[in-house]
Amino acid sequence: MIEIENLSKTYRGGVKALSNLTLNIDTGMFGLVGPNGAGKTTLMRILAGLLRPSGGRVTAFGHDLATYAGRHTVKMNLGYLPQELGLYPNLNAYEFLDYMAILKGITDAGERKRQIGNLLETVRLTDSAKRPLKTYSGGMKRRIGIAQALLGHPRLLIVDEPTAGLDPEERVRFRNLLADMAVERTIILSTHIVEDISQSCNDLAVMRAGTVVFRGAPADLIQRARGHVWTLTGQRPAESLTLVSTLHLQQGVQYRVLGDPGGDALPAEPTLEDGYMWLMQSAELSKTAK
């Protein structure tokens, strides 16, 4: 259980990344979405004990992250995959995972070997385990990042854009893996790929400008867009409408829009992406109105 109360973070130079953010995250898979600069990475870094908040309070499993002891305890139970993953290019996959396992405090060599073997199998890199990481492709590096995050069976897993760079098959596999693990863990998944959230999370938060603008189930977010999603074929929609997709079909160009185009537009079944777009549009409108 993670409790965040009135969390704020202001960087040097006055850039405000988080402002008075309050959020409770339970066991299970929790999705975090939002536009670039919304404060997702800052929030994840605070939860991982990498950044100190400027104000507010964060506790994870009852441990206060403001204290060294609290951060240390959380880190002992943490699996973390940053957005910009760095690896040691001169080590091979096995050595890198072994090094990370040691740093995570897995002291028993046999246990490390067993875990690394299993994880390499899970991310399908057993055959390449002895190759230096500098020879790995982007997707392979990402999979090594996932494997290192899973070392030590962490109670809290924070993954930032985990599926970026993975092929569709690997993405689905990894999504399922996370969903399986979420039964007894807290997994915070930050992504721009809304489909990943809709397929695996039963709880999500949408962030915008350092605050949470939506909190609930994906179905609730989808519900918000109901009645506002339309498809148009032929003429290009007006500028006032939000264009979600453009599809070139044999009978002409089909547009999917948010808003109220009127005319011969047909209502469409909303998706999570529509819900997200509708929410962002509403937030922008209310900001302009203020």
Partner 1 sequence: MNQLRGIIRYELLMSWRRRALPMLMLTFLAALVLIGLMIEQVSATVDRGVISVQVQDGVTTITQRIEDGSIIEEPLDAEAASRLPPWMIGLDLSQAANTIRGINVLIPALMVLVVGSIPLLSDVIPLDRQYRIRELLDATPLHRSLYLIGKVLSVWVGLLIGLALCFGIFQSVLYLRYGAYDLLPLLLDWLVFAIPLTLMTSFGTLLFTSWAGTRRVGLLVGIGLIPVGVYLYFVSAMTLSGVGRLVNPVYGFGTMGASLNGINDQTIALESVIGMLLIYAVAFAAVWMFGWGVARWREAR
Partner 2 sequence: MKGKAILNHWQLAWRRGFRSVGWFLPLIGAGIIFGAILTSLGGFQIAFLRFNALEVVLPLFVGVQAALLFAPDDEPPLELMLAKPRPLPWVLFERTAALIVIYGLIAGVASLLVLTLPNAESLAQTFVRWLPPTIGMIGIGVWISVSSRKASSGVFAAVMLCGAMAVGQTVLLPRYEFMSWVMFYVQPWDVSAERYLANRLILTLIGLLTFASALGLLRDSERMLGTNQAVAQ
Binding site for partner 2 (CB under 8 A): 128, 131-132, 134-137, 140
- The partner in contact with residue 134, picked from partner 2, partner 1, none with C-beta cut-offs of 5 to 8 angstroms by kind, is partner 2
Taking each helix axis from N to C end, the angle separating 168-181 and 138-150, rounded to the nearest 10 degrees, works out to 10
Tokens representing 228?
A: 């506002």
Cα–Cα distance, 205 to 89 (Å, whole number): 36
Residue 134 CB, nearest approach to partner 2 (Å):
6
Indicate the residue among 87 and 179 with the shorter CB distance to partner 2. Answer: 87
- The partner in contact with residue 136, picked from partner 2, partner 1, none with C-beta cut-offs of 5 to 8 angstroms by kind, is partner 2
Residue 156 CB, nearest approach to partner 1 (Å):
11
Contact assessment for residue 86 and residue 115, using Cβ atoms and an 8 Å cutoff:
no
Residue 31 CB, nearest approach to partner 1 (Å):
20
The candidate with the shortest Cα–Cα distance to 132, out of 85, 92, 87, is 92
Taking each helix axis from N to C end, the angle separating 109-122 and 138-150, rounded to the nearest 10 degrees, works out to 140
- The partner in contact with residue 50, picked from partner 1, partner 2, none with C-beta cut-offs of 5 to 8 angstroms by kind, is partner 1
Indicate the residue among 137 and 223 with the shorter CB distance to partner 2. Answer: 137
Indicate the residue among 135 and 223 with the shorter CB distance to partner 1. Answer: 135
The contact set with partner 1 (CB under 8 A) reads: 12, 45, 48-50, 72, 75-76, 78, 80, 82, 84-91, 95, 98-100, 102-105, 107, 148
Indicate the residue among 138 and 234 with the shorter CB distance to partner 2. Answer: 138
Residue 137 CB, nearest approach to partner 2 (Å):
4
Please spell the DSSP secondary structure of 140-195, one letter per residue.
Answer: HHHHHHHHHHHTT--SEEEEESTTTT--HHHHHHHHHHHHHHTTSSEEEEE-S-HH
Helix (H, G, I), strand (E, B) or coil at 221: helix
